[in-house]
Structures are given as C-alpha cells and as structure tokens.
Amino acid sequence: MTFDELYKACLITGTSYKDRRTGVGISLKPKSGEKIRLFPLDNPPNRECRLREHLRLKQVCDLVLFYSDGRRLIICLVELKGSDIYHAAEQLINVYRKLQPYLRRVLPTSTVGEKIHLTEWRAYICQGKHSSAHSQRRKKTRLLLQKFGQFNRYDISRNPDVGQFLRKK
C-alpha cells in the first residue's frame, strides 16, 4: 500500500476526534492559514485504514495529527486516556519509533520531504475530566517522555482544545 493510499484511507474529516470507548476527545478550531489533518490509528472509523498493520504496530496511540501554519509542520501524536498515562507515554514512543522513519522514507522530497527535516514532533496526552492521575505516576510519565527526548514538546492535560499546545513556539 502506497503512502497516498494510506493517507486517503486513514484521513478523517473535521478538526475534532473522540474516543468512543473512553469518551475523551480533542478538538482544534483552525485559524486563518492553518491546516489540520487527523489520522486515527486505534480503532479507525474507516476499516480501509491499514496504517497500524503496515507499520507493524502492536501498541498504538489514538491519533496522528498533522498541523501546519504555513511556516512549519507539526506532527503530534495524541493519546486519549481515561487513566493509565504511563502506558500512554509508552504508546506514543512506540508509534514515533515506527512512524518517523516511515515518513522520512515515503514523503516525496520535492514537496514535503524538504520540510520533514524542519518538522516538529509533539506528543499530547489528553486525560478524561474525571481521571485521577497519581502524582508519582505523572512524574514517571514526564521522565519517560523527557528521557526519550524526541518530542520537541509534550503535554499531559485535561484540556480537549489542543490548539493552544500546537501553536506554542
């Protein structure tokens, strides 16, 4: 399956996504000049989406979000969690390790390929409003993400509006 086929099969319309099992979701209201593309990985609504199988991913995050403001491309891996945020961090890292080299290989150099070197990778864990994160577990999760060090920025939040996080310089 080519990247174009995967792109078309996995892309969903809109600028919000909600996990049907946990009820946790994210949204983003694009400003002028911004482009947002959402690609669910875990239980994608489109059964034709085979990105998980294509990359041989056992553990996946819920969503890959492409954000562009015309100057930069941000690829944000998103996990919508009801509780276990440490496991969420492991999922984000697992997807990054497979997706990053894949995108470097398949994106055409003439268009996005040159930009991919300027791409920022970010990670966002959105917790449910009623989830309680044990402070020690939260600390371990932050340490795990820092140790991994591939995410320019990451956040663990209950805020479903991911726009502010993505727009930070």
In the chain, where are the structural domains located? 3-167
- 126, 162 contact by CB (below 8 A): yes
Q: Tell me the pLDDT tens digit for each residue of 85-106.
A: 778 888 888 898 898 888 877 7
Which has more pLDDT, 165 or 85? 165
How many whole angstroms separate alpha carbon 33 and alpha carbon 70? 6
Per-residue pLDDT reduced to its tens digit, 108-163: 553 544 455 567 889 998 987 665 556 656 677 777 777 667 666 888 888 999 99
This prediction has a pTM of 0.85
pLDDT at 110: 38
Q: Where does residue 7 fall: left (phi above 0), alpha (psi -120 to 50 degrees), or beta otherwise?
A: alpha
